[in-house]
Amino acid sequence: MKLPEIEQAWQGVEKCRRCAIRSLVLFADLQREDFDHIHLPIEEMELTAGQSLYQSNQQGRYVFTIRQGLIKLTHPLANGHYRVIRLLRQGDLAGIEALNGARYLHHAEALQSTLICRIPIENIESLNSNTPHLYQQLTRRWHQIQQDADTWLAKFAQGGSRQRLAHLLLYLAEAESQPAFFLPGREDIGAMLGITTETASRLIADFRRSGFLHTGNGLASIEQDSLESIIAQG
Amino acid sequence: MKLPEIEQAWQGVEKCRRCAIRSLVLFADLQREDFDHIHLPIEEMELTAGQSLYQSNQQGRYVFTIRQGLIKLTHPLANGHYRVIRLLRQGDLAGIEALNGARYLHHAEALQSTLICRIPIENIESLNSNTPHLYQQLTRRWHQIQQDADTWLAKFAQGGSRQRLAHLLLYLAEAESQPAFFLPGREDIGAMLGITTETASRLIADFRRSGFLHTGNGLASIEQDSLESIIAQG
DNA sequence: CGGATCGTTGACAGGTATCAATGCTGGTGG
DNA sequence: CCACCAGCATTGATACCTGTCAACGATCCG
């Protein structure tokens, strides 16, 4: 794990160039020559469930891309609880606000085992001056964040809790190639929907009894049509 | 209103250069020479209360800076109602998503009489290739949007409706130099907090009777300490 | 086996949506 | 000028939903 700096950098570039999901991440538009000109000390990390990626208000030196897994961004509340602001999934960027020289806005924590790449912000900024390709990707990410924020307000903070949960389950199920998806704990579900843990538990149990939701060994699957009819004032 | 194109452009630049709030808007970092090199056909517009600035899903050709007033960004809901996603105030940027070639994400409508500047996106993009100054400002705006989105989730979509309303009133009162501020209609307040119009009305009336809120000829003022104690589990 | 953590369920009080009716106000036309 | 109307705000009654407090069950791990 403690290789010479230059070696490490080279590994990062090599790995990044061959990364199977590179089209999803920040460097999708970079040409071969961009890579050759710049040493990118990109490091892979694996987070176990419950492990923190960064803390709110911490001075940011890295930006992270999620290669696989699920990260929650949370905001502490006055009563000791927390509110989940957003989830990050494959291809999403974490800590992008560090590019402004600003501190991280959230507490970031893995919900399940999660694979990420860590990129120092100084490298992003030097890439920015050398190629316009990166700006486009960054702008796209900002745009994505805005869109996600809208989704969370319009779907997860609006209407009755049954409808909110239906929205959340559909959201979790989408963007998975498999029909099964990771179902967060009741406390996290509550923190995403702005409801209590107990209500979240009651609703999950109810959905399961009604056959809208099936669970097994930590994974879940849904009856899409049923959930959509709940949202449509069912 | 129908001057020759070149004349119009020059007016835009002149006005923009002398704008009293330029330090707040997009071109704060631009040097004199930047201005001289580029013709910016910036146009001022005044929106009356209730007037739309753009529609959701419309192809965006402009970005707007708010010089004075209040704009609501809304998202239609299935039941015919709408949800207010965010408010824009002096110095904020509207329609920034158009810079991606994307369509507008929201319906934007003036809550009160509002003064804006309209900037074609092609000019933003040509400025981007000539000076790095603009990028910084744009990034700052994206960052602001992310922060605002967090605020809305953590304050206006969390806890009881009394606490949400207290948060909203404090938010509306802040960033006003005067103690008095514009109080939106009950329907809009409901759409911001995710509650019904009736509940919003009841709470406003209650706050007024309790002396937390004072109103007169369309303007309002608050007792800051009282509202803060409501938020702190009062 | 015991303890810790998480999920489930119950009882009840309080809050909110819903349906409905009644004030209030500014603008319009006679 | 005044009567009227349309839109908004307020208020009431009630059923439903959710938070709260509390207990119990399930599962994992030492």
Beta-sheet strands, E only, within A121-164:
none
pLDDT at A4: 47
Which amino acid, one-letter code, is at B102?
A: A
The overall longest dimension of chain B from CA atoms, in Å, is 61
Phi then psi for A70, rounded to 5 degrees?
A: -150, 125
Mean pLDDT across A74-91 = 95
Q: Which residues of A touch B196 (CB under 8 A)?
A: none
Cα(first)–Cα(last) distance of chain B, in Å? 55
pLDDT at A7: 57
With CB atoms and an 8 Å threshold, state whether B231 touches A129.
no
Phi then psi for A148, rounded to 5 degrees?
A: -65, -40
d(CA B39, nearest CA chain A) in Å: 23
d(CA A2, nearest CA chain B) in Å: 35
What is the pTM assigned to this prediction?
A: 0.91
Q: How far is CA A219 from CA A35, A206, A234, B69, B74, in A?
A: 39, 17, 26, 49, 35
Number of Cβ pairs < 8 A linking chain A and chain B: 100
**Closest to B187 (Cα-Cα) out of B175, B199, B176:** B199
Please give the full DSSP string across B116-133, using - where no structure is assigned. Answer: EEEEEHHHHHHHHHH-TH
Q: Which helix (H) or strand (E) holds A149?
A: helix A133-156
Separation of alpha carbons A228 and A232, rounded Å: 6
Per-residue pLDDT of chain B (234 residues; tens, 9 = 90+): 444 455 555 666 677 777 877 777 788 877 777 777 667 788 889 999 999 999 999 999 999 999 999 999 999 998 889 999 999 999 999 999 999 899 999 999 999 999 999 999 998 888 887 777 788 888 999 999 999 999 999 999 999 999 999 999 999 999 888 889 999 999 999 999 999 999 999 999 999 999 999 998 789 999 999 999 999 976
Q: Which residues of A touch B97 (CB under 8 A)?
A: 143, 146-147
What is the nearest nucleotide to A159, using C1' and CA? Answer: C17
pLDDT at A234: 65
Residues 81-120 of A with CB under 8 A from B: 83, 85, 96-97, 99-100, 102, 105-106
Specify whether the CB–CB gap between B96 and B138 falls below 8 A. yes
DSSP single-letter state for residue B60: P
Q: Which residues of B touch A79 (CB under 8 A)?
A: 233
With CB atoms and an 8 Å threshold, state whether A105 touches B147.
yes
Q: Which residues of A touch B106 (CB under 8 A)?
A: 150
Interface residues 200-219 of B with strand D (CB < 7 Å): 201-202, 204-205, 208
- B146 interfaces chain A, CB cutoff of 8 Å: yes
Strand D–CB A201 distance below 7 A:
no
Counted residue by residue, chain A has a size of 234
Counted residue by residue, chain B has a size of 234
- A80 interfaces chain B, CB cutoff of 8 Å: no
Separation of alpha carbons A185 and A157, rounded Å: 19
Q: Which residues touch strand C (CB under 7 A)?
A: A 185-187, 197-198, 201-202, 204-205, 208; B 160-162, 194-196, 198-199
Say if residue A144 is exposed, middle or buried (CB neighbours under 10 Å; 0-12, 13-18, 19+): middle
Buried b (16+ CB within 10 A) or exposed e, A25-59: bbbeebeeebeeeebbbbbeeebeeeeebbeeeee
